[in-house]
Chain A
Amino acid sequence: MIVPWLTLVIAIPLFGAVVALPLRGVHNRRVGLVTSGLTLALAIAAVVLSRFYDLSEQVLWLRSVGAWYALNIDGLSGSLLLVITALVVAVLLIRSGLEPTATATATATERINVRPEIFTVLVLCTEACISAALLAADLVLFCIAFEMALLPCYALVGCWGGAKRTLAAARFLAFTLTSGFLLLAGVIGMLTAASATGRPSTLLSALGTVAIPEGMGRLLFVLFFLAFAIKGPLVPFHSWLPLLAREAHPLVTTVIVAVVDVLGGYGMIRFAVGLFPAAAAWAAPAVLVLALISIWYAGIAAAGSRHLLQFGVYTSISHTGFIMFGIFALTPETLTGAAMYLSAHAVSVAALLLVGTVIWVTTGTAHIGEFAGLGRRLPVLAGLFLISGLATLALPGFLNFAAELQVLVGAWEHHRVLTLLAIGGTLLGAVYVTLAYQRLFTGQPSPDAPPLKDASLLQRGAIGVLLAATLLFGCAPELLREYVAEADLGTAAIAAADAADAGGK
């Protein structure tokens, strides 16, 4: 292809970030919006074109280990790319309504006079890194993009936020850096295995054919799994996210949960299960149990959480558990379902967190009381919260349900009891959404409460469009299912699982 579409999708946000850096005030925000809008258009164009032309690009990057600058787009990465570019546009739209100064969240002990315009720059850089990671068709390039996403996020968390934002930033850094280095260890192991056979190449297409001894395959799988489990996050490795939700600026939390953490699930499908099918089949039962723990533990924590953003974050952890359950059930339906669930969950949790952001900024507090009676004072926000809550609990008619149905129905074949527990897990969704809605919006508002300004047209539009998309794809999920299934995810792993299963029976 003459036009390097995929490189453009990565380059435009970076270019926009550089242009937006020196600008002030509304110009900066306008450039941010134009850039992210352009990137979204490009992403759509890339997805559409990729159905007819081969958009892959390949340039040798480092000969001695056979690393390439290779990009390619398929069902899985295409759908996720659309989602994250759309979410960045939504975040920047919502942001132009409210200034991400630290005051909005808490009184920071020592306030650093960082210009709010830097927020746009950092979000665009994050978007570039994440799209690069999604489009990477080379293991080393994915590892580079995966770790480079860490820096803008660290700055985002550290600059705006509550009193202990540096603590939250430090813990986020500790976990994400460890995840990055675990991935690096896995990549190095993979490079060693690949370079043993003549001219090494870390292209995904080439890596598929590398014969890895079983022991090493399991070791590398564990490394990849841990890296993506921390990024997911799955329960035992999740303690950085709730702290971040409480301390960081709500928009930053939205970006990290909805845009960055997509890499966890994506990496698990593409690399952990993709490159090490036998090891994935071997580890599947253990991971399924871990996923179930994640679903139930995070679900209960969401029901009990009294902070608006932490509530959204716990729902995200619970859904990540669900996605991992789908991935490691290792049947064609569950893998496609998990892939669809990734994009559905990103959109629904983003909507939930954006509503939470607007409520936090409008009412000035993120505490979830008892019968706070906000429904009367903020009817539109109450409606939006309810709809995004329903999307989160996978009410049929939303895309989440179509994905969840595939995961549950597909997993029934091999893991009967575990699937029953997972079906029980979906009930948790209903519990924590209705509980949160009841605590926030029902009940009599205190008579002397000051009148609150409801969501502005801009905010309604941004969140409304996201929910409309989920609803649209919820009513016709076949479109997305076909597109994602084209990427025939984890076929080797499925075969390995069936073999293991057949052996087991």
Chain B
Amino acid sequence: MGMNMLLLESGFTRWAGASWLVIALPLLVAAVLLSAGALSDSWGHWLGVAGIAVPFCYSILLFCLMLSAPEPFTSTLYTWLSLGTVKVGVSLLVDQLSILFLLLVTGVGMLVAVYTVGYLAHDAGRRRCFGYINLFIAAMLLLVLADNYGLLFLGWEGVGLASYLLIGFWQERNAAALAAKKAFLMNRVADLGLLTAIAVLFTQAGTLRFSAVPAALQEAGGPWAGIVGVALLLAACGKSAQVPLQSWLLDAMEGPTPVSALIHAATMVTAGVYLMLRSVPVYELAPTVRVVVVLIGVLTLFLGAWIAMTERNLKRVLAGSTMSQVGYLMLAAGLGPVGAVFAVFHLLTHGVFKADLFLTAGAITEAVGFNELRKLGGLLKLLPWTFAAFTCGYLAIIGVPFLSGFYSKEHIIAAAWADSPLLGVCALLGVGLTACYMTRLLLLLFAGKPRWQDTYDTDSTSDKHDTDDTADTEDTNTAADVEIRRTPASMAFPLVVLSLLALVGGLALNGWLQSWLAPVFSVTAPATNWLHFDWLSYTAIGVMLVGVLVAVVWYRKVTPAWFEEPVPAIASPGLYADIIMERGIVAPSVRLTSGVTWLEQRGLDSDAADADGTDGLWLGLNGVSALVLRLQNGSVRTYALLCSIGVVVVLALMLFWVWM
């Protein structure tokens, strides 16, 4: 036993050393796909899938090796940049936390890639999309494997760029271009926070490595830990679409659905939470900031739920739900090391079932061609398999016992309750709301009869963009002839896998995860076996059932007319967030820009050319020159007078010293 342990031992270090390959391979594939141009269209997508599959296999191998010898391994390749004494090294840390993220990102990534092969089958830019996906995977893995804030920032911005490219994938559509720009700018606003944090860490702590930062901040003392905490929180809010910077996530749905599944549900939005997890010791030093994190988590939880309740577009409902679930993660991460472990647990399970829900949404859009809830409905009979996959995700997310959502969320509620009863109540309320909006979505999608048969005008844009249909606003499929396109195999396989994982994931991780993450957060979170129910889990189940009942009562019989009623202002999705941003930030900056441009334009056209077109220098002095030239009037008398005055002046100036 010892021998192969040793073998495994050395095997792990040898393999972990090659962790940079995980980043380099997808980057290389992305470069090949993006620069190869049209000639790689036929095999491009399979290369893209391979670019993610290989790192996935590598992560599994690494995970297995790590199971037996669980201690972190850091491989330093070279010094990226030395800022004075601080050396920002390109060093990759493979520890228990990052291996989990490695698995989640590459796993879900591979499944989404396979799904995209089918989803974008007849889209000309598929190769480009795979290039961007590989770029995203590389950046996300760099972010996850970095062992210091400097390198993390590199991956952080790479992820922002990839999401910009993917949201704006169909850049012919103005809405997609605007959404991409909005997402990128809001991420950049958040990145200023991370940049400030790095600046403070450099000057006050003198180090950027995760392991060394808490001790250095402790020794630096003063308000610095708090400032770093706030800065990191700003960064996390931007990336994970938390309250102040959350409106970009709704518009991000303009991108292709598998992209939304991968980036805006499973991986990218969790990057902010990952940053929180890595900085848990920093927040230990600044308890007040920890409260703010929790507060933001709760706020986003309720805002996300509200959006999911009021949205009328399938993908935007799921986006609202993601925002709310990530609110849970922030709340958990803000509860200290114990909460962090449960945050990871919920993060993994949420990544799986949210991806499953998004992919089913993609399947629905692929089948009928639009994703407006107003026109959908009655899909039960038409798409049975999709219904089955959706229900697995549905049951998992609302927290039905024994499924993944229940276990991960139950721990968070327990931890929240332990922290403060009010927080516990909020968490419970969240469970109820989740149940309510998910049931509403289920009913609107699958119950009753298909509403698209009654509607006559088709105004909204269809999410699915067929390259062959010309204008994107006009939607040709009138009510009658919506034929249901069968979901191709490449889209079905990931759905099946994800549905199974959504069901069984929670059970697998429940007991094991707490012990696995103990060394990372240096705390052993309380592990409860899968059958253990206490009063809290019963109340949670009760609240969940109430939520379902309420939704069933409200949305049992929904007719198209119901959709026509005017929506009260308060119920508008996004709770005026967009309006505030529009009027508060965008409008004044547009006015400022036009003011500056006017000033510059005036500066450009100011000097007119000379009379005879020889537009010379110092045009301003022409007046003075004319004035001076009047002295040269050509009469000798004036010249003689000038000379005599000259003599007198020379004499006067000479005598000036004598009188001094």
Direct interface between A and B, CB < 8 A: yes
Taking Cβ atoms with an 8 Å cutoff, the residues of A that contact B are 164, 166-167, 170-171, 173-174, 177, 239, 242-243, 246, 297, 300-301, 303-306, 332-333, 371, 373, 375-376, 383, 390, 395-397, 401-402, 405-406, 408-410, 412-413, 419-420, 423-424, 426-427, 430-431, 434-435, 438, 441-444, 475-478, 481
* From B172, B203, B609, contact of A413 by CB (8 A): B203
Please name 24 pairs of A and B residues whose Cβ atoms are closer than 8 Å in the assembled complex, sorted by A. A166-B613, A242-B603, A300-B589, A301-B596, A301-B597, A305-B600, A375-B171, A383-B34, A402-B81, A405-B150, A405-B198, A408-B199, A409-B199, A420-B196, A424-B192, A427-B189, A430-B184, A434-B184, A435-B181, A442-B168, A443-B171, A477-B80, A478-B81, A478-B82
Find out whether the CB atom of B604 lies under 8 angstroms from the CB atom of A243.
yes
Q: Give the number of A-B contacts (CB < 8 Å).
A: 142
B571 contacts partner chain A, Cβ-Cβ < 8 Å: no
* From B150, B161, B192, contact of A390 by CB (8 A): B161
Find out whether the CB atom of B593 lies under 8 angstroms from the CB atom of A174.
no
* From B81, B609, B618, contact of A406 by CB (8 A): B81
Find out whether the CB atom of A333 lies under 8 angstroms from the CB atom of B604.
no
Q: How far is the CB of A435 from chain B (nearest CB, A)?
A: 7
B475 contacts partner chain A, Cβ-Cβ < 8 Å: no
Find out whether the CB atom of B172 lies under 8 angstroms from the CB atom of A376.
yes
* From B81, B180, B596, contact of A304 by CB (8 A): B596
Contacts of B615 in A (CB 8 A): 164, 166-167, 170
Q: How far is the CB of A238 from chain B (nearest CB, A)?
A: 9
Contacts of B154 in A (CB 8 A): 396-397
Contacts of B34 in A (CB 8 A): 383
B195 contacts partner chain A, Cβ-Cβ < 8 Å: yes
Find out whether the CB atom of B84 lies under 8 angstroms from the CB atom of A481.
no
Q: How far is the CB of A284 from chain B (nearest CB, A)?
A: 18
Q: How far is the CB of B454 from chain A (nearest CB, A)?
A: 31
Find out whether the CB atom of B178 lies under 8 angstroms from the CB atom of A173.
no
Known: A406-B83, A438-B178. A174 touches B617 (CB 8 A): yes
Contacts of B597 in A (CB 8 A): 301, 304-306
Q: How far is the CB of B209 from chain A (nearest CB, A)?
A: 15
B174 contacts partner chain A, Cβ-Cβ < 8 Å: yes
Give the complex CA separation of A343 and B438 in angstroms. Answer: 55
Contacts of A481 in B (CB 8 A): 81-82
Find out whether the CB atom of A171 lies under 8 angstroms from the CB atom of B157.
no
Interface size on B, residues (CB 8 A): 55
Find out whether the CB atom of A167 lies under 8 angstroms from the CB atom of B81.
no
Give the complex CA separation of A352 and B355 in angstroms. Answer: 39
Find out whether the CB atom of B618 lies under 8 angstroms from the CB atom of A174.
yes
Q: How far is the CB of B255 from chain A (nearest CB, A)?
A: 13
Give the complex CA separation of A401 and B83 in angstroms. Answer: 13
Tell me the chain B residues, 131-185 only, with Cβ under 8 Å from chain A: 150, 153-154, 156-158, 161, 164, 168, 171-174, 176-178, 180-181, 184-185
Find out whether the CB atom of A443 lies under 8 angstroms from the CB atom of B172.
yes
- Chain A at the B interface: SS class: helix
Give the complex CA separation of A153 and B594 in angstroms. Answer: 31
B607 contacts partner chain A, Cβ-Cβ < 8 Å: yes
Give the complex CA separation of A408 and B200 in angstroms. Answer: 10
Contacts of A395 in B (CB 8 A): 157, 161
Q: How far is the CB of A491 from chain B (nearest CB, A)?
A: 14
Give the complex CA separation of A413 and B614 in angstroms. Answer: 53
**Smallest CB-CB separation from B599: which chain A residue?**
A301
Contacts of A167 in B (CB 8 A): 607, 609, 615
* From A242, A412, A424, contact of B600 by CB (8 A): A242
Q: How far is the CB of B595 from chain A (nearest CB, A)?
A: 8
Known: A303-B593, A371-B177. A396 touches B153 (CB 8 A): yes
Taking Cβ atoms with an 8 Å cutoff, the residues of B that contact A are 34, 78-84, 150, 153-154, 156-158, 161, 164, 168, 171-174, 176-178, 180-181, 184-185, 188-189, 192, 195-196, 198-200, 202-203, 589, 592-594, 596-597, 600, 603-604, 607, 609, 613-618
Contacts of B189 in A (CB 8 A): 427
Find out whether the CB atom of B617 lies under 8 angstroms from the CB atom of A396.
no
Contacts of A376 in B (CB 8 A): 172
Known: A239-B604, A390-B161, A406-B83. A426 touches B593 (CB 8 A): no
Find out whether the CB atom of A242 lies under 8 angstroms from the CB atom of B604.
yes
Q: How far is the CB of B152 from chain A (nearest CB, A)?
A: 10
Give the complex CA separation of A65 and B601 in angstroms. Answer: 46
Q: How far is the CB of A164 from chain B (nearest CB, A)?
A: 7
Known: A167-B607, A412-B200. A426 touches B157 (CB 8 A): no
Known: A423-B196, A427-B192. A173 touches B172 (CB 8 A): no
Give the complex CA separation of A166 and B613 in angstroms. Answer: 9
**Smallest CB-CB separation from B204: which chain A residue?**
A412
* From B158, B172, B185, B607, contact of A442 by CB (8 A): B172
* From B79, B172, B181, contact of A478 by CB (8 A): B79
Find out whether the CB atom of B81 lies under 8 angstroms from the CB atom of A434.
no
Find out whether the CB atom of A332 lies under 8 angstroms from the CB atom of B593.
no
Q: How far is the CB of A496 from chain B (nearest CB, A)?
A: 19
Give the complex CA separation of A408 and B193 in angstroms. Answer: 13
Q: How far is the CB of B371 from chain A (nearest CB, A)?
A: 22
Most buried by B among A177, A396, A408, A434: A396
Contacts of A423 in B (CB 8 A): 192, 195-196, 199
**Smallest CB-CB separation from A174: which chain B residue?**
B617
Find out whether the CB atom of A173 lies under 8 angstroms from the CB atom of B80.
no
**Smallest CB-CB separation from B155: which chain A residue?**
A396
Find out whether the CB atom of A410 lies under 8 angstroms from the CB atom of B82.
no
Find out whether the CB atom of B192 lies under 8 angstroms from the CB atom of A444.
no
Which 10 A/B pairs are nearest by Cβ-Cβ distance?
A442-B177, A304-B597, A304-B593, A430-B188, A412-B199, A442-B171, A396-B154, A434-B181, A239-B603, A396-B157
Contacts of B617 in A (CB 8 A): 170, 173-174, 177
Contacts of B181 in A (CB 8 A): 434-435, 438
Known: A397-B158, A478-B80. A409 touches B202 (CB 8 A): yes
Q: How far is the CB of B146 from chain A (nearest CB, A)?
A: 11
Find out whether the CB atom of B80 lies under 8 angstroms from the CB atom of A397.
no
Most buried by A among B153, B195, B614: B195
* From A304, A424, A441, contact of B594 by CB (8 A): A304
Give the complex CA separation of A306 and B181 in angstroms. Answer: 18
**Smallest CB-CB separation from B176: which chain A residue?**
A442
Contacts of B607 in A (CB 8 A): 167, 171
Contacts of A373 in B (CB 8 A): 172
Contacts of A408 in B (CB 8 A): 195, 199
Contacts of B188 in A (CB 8 A): 426-427, 430
Contacts of A478 in B (CB 8 A): 78-82
Contacts of A424 in B (CB 8 A): 192
Give the complex CA separation of A106 and B165 in angstroms. Answer: 35
Contacts of A434 in B (CB 8 A): 164, 180-181, 184-185
**Smallest CB-CB separation from A475: which chain B residue?**
B80
Contacts of A443 in B (CB 8 A): 171-172, 174, 177
Give the complex CA separation of A19 and B617 in angstroms. Answer: 33
Give the complex CA separation of A297 and B589 in angstroms. Answer: 12
Contacts of A164 in B (CB 8 A): 609, 615
Contacts of A426 in B (CB 8 A): 188, 192, 195
Give the complex CA separation of A397 and B154 in angstroms. Answer: 7
Instruction: Identify 11 new A-B residue pairs, CB closer than 8 A, beyond the known A171-B607, A419-B199.
Output: A239-B604, A301-B596, A373-B172, A405-B195, A409-B198, A427-B192, A431-B185, A442-B177, A443-B174, A443-B177, A476-B80
**Smallest CB-CB separation from B615: which chain A residue?**
A167
Give the complex CA separation of A438 and B596 in angstroms. Answer: 21
Q: How far is the CB of A364 from chain B (nearest CB, A)?
A: 22
**Smallest CB-CB separation from B125: which chain A residue?**
A379
Q: How far is the CB of A426 from chain B (nearest CB, A)?
A: 7
Give the complex CA separation of A390 and B609 in angstroms. Answer: 39
Contacts of A375 in B (CB 8 A): 171-172
Give the complex CA separation of A242 and B596 in angstroms. Answer: 13
Contacts of B199 in A (CB 8 A): 408-409, 412, 419, 423
Q: How far is the CB of B402 from chain A (nearest CB, A)?
A: 44
Give the complex CA separation of A301 and B597 in angstroms. Answer: 6
Contacts of B202 in A (CB 8 A): 409, 412
